[in-house]
Structure 1
Amino acid sequence: MKTYVVLYHAPQEVAARFAQATAEEAQAGLAQWQEWSAGLGDRLVDLGRPLGAAATVTAAGCVDGGSDVIGMSVVRAQSRDEALELVREHHHLAWGSITLLEEQVVPELA
């Protein structure tokens, strides 16, 4: 099995709107996550969580903001195609996009 990091992209306004959700809206959103995760079974490694304030760090310094990644999850699948099927109908696609990244094996040092 391979492991994939799922990054959820959306404008920061979407994340701000979620932060201001009523209890009923939050519960409805949680139900969507629970439905999606239940369908994955043991292929879900980490349901993940929302992500907040971003900073970009380079040799020249640090700049706040600049990321539209608002959350992440980790899934396991036999292939990239299978992993794509796990997120193809994800409810997040109603307001954003998803990036799927395959974790690479780090060769052991001799």
Structure 2
Amino acid sequence: MSTTNTYLAVYLGGGKDGARMAAWNKLPEAERKAKEQQGMAAWGAWVEKHHDVIVEIGGPLGKTTKVDAKGAADITNLLTGFTLVRAPSQQAAAKLFENHPHFAIFPGEAVEIMPVLPIPGR
């Protein structure tokens, strides 16, 4: 995969105990289900609108295991999903995610955008 103009979008949540998730969980079940359907429809529309620049749709992320010099351990972080997009600049990539359903409808906190850099020496 060429990394030229490729950006990783990482979806962040506030965790199980975050204020947005707490408010989401307090919604009556019928209202929450309706928002879920609205959110998935909006997410599908976002994908359709940007299908020509999506390199990898990505998806939700599950539980995290951290591996370091001490070994492997289950940890908690705020990462909830990812998408790879192509854009002429980081600002242009970020613009794709303005008012994204992740935080405009769902209780997600933010989307962070970063360039995928070439491997040095390759």
TM-score, normalised via structure 1 length: 0.79
CA deviations on 1:19-38 (whole Å, 9 max, x unpaired) are xx75x554333211111112
SS at match of 2:51: helix
Q: Which runs of 5+ in 2 are unaligned?
A: 26-31
SS in 2 for 1:42: coil
Number of residue equivalences? 104
Question: Percent of aligned pairs with the same residue?
Answer: 28
Partner of 1:53: 63
Partner residue, 2:114: 101
Superposed CA RMSD in Å reads: 2.2
TM-superposed CA distance for 1:107, in Å, is: 4.4
Question: Equivalent residues in 2 for 1:1-110 (5 A)?
Answer: 2-13=5-16, 14=21, 22=33, 26-94=36-104, 95=107, 96-109=109-122
CA drift at 1:92: 1.3
Conserved 8 A contact 1:49-1:71:
yes
**Partner deviation per Cα, 1:23-81 (whole Å, 9 max, x = no partner):** x5543332111111122131111221111010111101222122110111111101111
Q: Structure 2 length as normaliser, TM-score?
A: 0.72
Task: List alignment gaps of at least 5 residues for structure 1.
Answer: none
8 A Cα contact 1:12 1:70, kept in partner: no
Alpha-carbon separation, structure 2, partners of 1:93 and 1:49: 15
Instruction: Tell me if structure 2 keeps the 8 A contact 1:6–1:73.
Output: yes
CA contact (8 A) 2:7 2:93 kept: yes
